[in-house]
Amino acid sequence: MKIVVYVSGNGSNLQAIIDSIKNGVIKGEIALVVSNKANAYGLERAAQNNIPTMVKTLKSYKDQGKSRVEYDVDLAKEVLQKLGREPDLQVLAGFMHILSADFLNHFKNPIINLHPALPGAFDGAHAIERAFEAYTKGEIQYTGVMVHRVIPEVDRGAVVLQEQIPIQEQDTLESLETKIHAVEHQLLVKAIVKLIQ
Ligand code: GRF
């Protein structure tokens, strides 16, 4: 079971996957970690665990006058080349780049994304901040986390798993973020187990 994980930053969700493979909960291996940021700490986590990494920045394409589509196509091709076959599962774990159909069309196996909000609630970036702001305005009482299949429309693919998280009076943006990340680490692992079973 070959898994490819995509990150852009800290990689705490990547770490949750690494830990769950080590303790036998996820029966598979991370064949490659891809980052679109050269300084993502997730790359360090991969290296510490002897996992191959690939850095590919959109900026390097833009600097050469190349398009996002060219980036997406090359990324798909390089992943396929590096593995020698299609990965069984690809996981976007804090990958801050919207993958177009030009990437997705290269694969038939599942590609999933982790999003720190409930389906249809706060699509796109800064979902936790936007949920907290909505709470302070009295518009919502809870938010959540979802793992969904990736389709060209951002944060809108079929939901694999979701979990509600109540926002409480004593919550601050920081405490809500901490709660959400803790749920993410568990939900993402559960979703991977569900998909590879
Ligand atoms: C997570 O909150 C994820 O849902 C969001 O980016 C964050 C990534 O965290 N899209 P990490 O890099 O896994 O620590």
187 lines ligand 1 (CB under 6 A): no
pTM: 0.95
> Does pLDDT of 158 surpass 90?
yes
Band (153; pLDDT cuts 50, 70, 90): confident
> Does pLDDT of 12 surpass 90?
yes
144 lines ligand 1 (CB under 6 A): no
Give yes or no: 115 in active site: yes
**Residue partners of 158: CB distance under 8 A and separation at least 6:** 148, 149
> Does pLDDT of 155 surpass 90?
no
Instruction: Tell me what the mean pLDDT of segment 41-66 comes to.
Output: 97
Q: DSSP string covering 55-114, please?
A: E--HHHHHHTT--HHHHHHHHHHHHHHHHSS--SEEEESS--S---HHHHTT--S-EEEE
> Does pLDDT of 154 surpass 80?
no
**For 72-87, how does the pLDDT look when each residue is reduced to its tens digit (9 = 90+)?**
999 999 999 999 999 9
Task: State the pLDDT at residue 45.
Answer: 98
9 lines ligand 1 (CB under 6 A): yes
Q: Which two tokens stand for residue 113?
A: 């994304």
